[in-house]
A and B are shown apart, each in its own frame.
Chain A
């Protein structure tokens, strides 16, 4: 049966393409059913629920091709902010839900263009672009004694795992058989108590003894010193640690655990702050690296290093030199505007009017 169906489908697809050329049938179908099977993966925001003053949970109906996720994993979301599509990774804050929807919880960070937009300006009905869930920050299959150290919005992947182990229903927390093998302690750090997202959820779990919760607030307890961890969690040496939070905390924990010979799994989303400067090392796919100053176009820099680059008018008019910037920052030589790409973004830039503004990697 399948052997005859596939060629039939191929023929049908090819015929449909002769009807719609130079566009694809999908370009027309997207007008009416953007979440259908076979479409580029998208989702529709169905609910924006405030969690704290500067955090919200965004509930999304993913497209039909969403392949599911394991609690603790993250999803990359592309959303249009001021008309510009920007991509960010967020932890999925529910286990797989029976209604098929997914959720992320976002904390608006200062200068955070996407997080502020999602928390304060996103509206139900908006289409967003998705990638399939990814990430290795998941629970061990066979259970064990675990320690979670989370700071601020670093709680989000952990809440996804905990909700999957201990679903909360109208009649309270349910302890599923699969949770029996886990012994979990959560050290959660936040600047203040009202700033803590998911604190109520954590407390509900602690109240029924599902987890042991140690909440620490900077304004009450002072900033957590990793050296005090063994005082806070006496059996830390017997636990496998999972940590999610800012780079400083993760680095300190890695140091601490390495000295004690302990396992540590970490997850970090906030990119290390990029140094935007004048000029920088420009890397190409064949590992060529050229030092370019802040006044030299990437096109000139690449060509002088012997790279074969697409080019055209060489004055910013024709868009014949556009290639993806894999990572790094570049500056528009005409108006000084800086464009930054994180891994996975592939922001297309005009190399003839862009100069390095720090290290950058061109996808060519």
Chain B
């Protein structure tokens, strides 16, 4: 054990003194996480039309008018769907969101009293667009309501009917009836004010937001990835990916260091010491594992402290990080025998890991991938690493759900280490 620790500590010291290696292992992943987190969190300016679905559970003329209003927006590409389909499409990343109008939305013009009549189901990875989308929905609500009132038809008639019904509704207390009548009278006055400003301009998102601020429609916003358990901010998406970048950095640094040792002759010196080959390999593996675990932990501590990333299940996260670090340690051993020179190993290693990263959520968040790409990503260890970490951070995985990615990571680590160690032994003649 002493020899293993001696080799591991030596390798960690060398890594700490290797400025380029240190950059790829720690600084680059942080930059990635912060950069992509920032651009996903902020976001303004020109956008492509957002694909959304409208779910009409109300079926009233108001609902149809609302749908028509949304379709007018150049910022949206609207389709109609039932609720299950809409949720599925958002979950798969094919839609940014859906807007559902619940039964009764037409009677209350979307305001709904104590309960929300409009539900906005959002892809959590597109949280940057949430405010904008909500503004568009609010604008459409007001615009529809204005249309209903300004035609002098159904809107005013509805208020009159409601006031008459209220007068005779003995199921409500006098106080309740007084407050409800006040709301309806205010609404009628609001309608009159709309008449007086007709033609003064169109209803923009900003105007709608102002109106909403003075008592706008109640819109319930939910994240669709895990319903109420979705990521709270973009950094909860970007930091799991950045952990994978750190592991990739460690993997490549140590794979290249093994080639370097073989070329320089230090590996021969290790082999000639009175220790077994397995101790030498275990020492290298332990160093890579500790570096990977350390870098991942540092990143997540930074994420939690500075970027408000929740760690909802710390024990599960510890298991996920150990499994991911172990997996990439095994991968490191395998990649180290991809060639006999630095350039061969670096070229082949980065090629494999970049493809894994691209398809596995290291670049594009898993949650934003189309269905076919999510199927492809099953072959990427980066995907299982991201999933395990996200499972412990915000996906709220049960132990059973965690077992799948963790098991795959551990198995891949064992296979990678065994095959790499065997090939390394074979290549030494």
Partners in one complex: no
The chain A residues found within 8 Å of chain B, CB to CB, are: none
The chain B residues found within 8 Å of chain A, CB to CB, are: none
